[in-house]
Amino acid sequence: MSSTQRLELELDLLEKKKAAMNSDLKYKERQHNSSMPVDEGMSDPSVAVLVMSSLVRDRDRLTAEIAEKKLELYDLLGGNDPAAEHDKPDLNLENTAALPTQMTHAEQILQAAAALAGSDRAGLFSRKQVREQLGLSPHDWQSGYTAIFQSMRDDHPGGAPQVSGKYKNVLHREGPGQYQLNARGRRLADEFKADSTG
pLDDT at 79 (0 to 100) = 52
The CA–CA distances, whole Å, from 108 to 22, 33, 180 equal: 41, 55, 15
pLDDT of residue 99: 44
Compute mean pLDDT per 10 residues along the chain, 198 residues long, and list them.
77 89 88 85 86 89 86 68 39 42 83 92 93 90 86 74 80 91 92 65
Handedness of CA 82, 9, 61, 17 (dihedral sign): positive
Give me the pLDDT at residue 183, please.
94
* CA 52 remoteness from chain centre: 34
Q: What are phi and psi of 66, to 5 degrees?
A: -65, -45
Nearest 10 degrees: CA dihedral of 95, 127, 147, 159?
A: 140
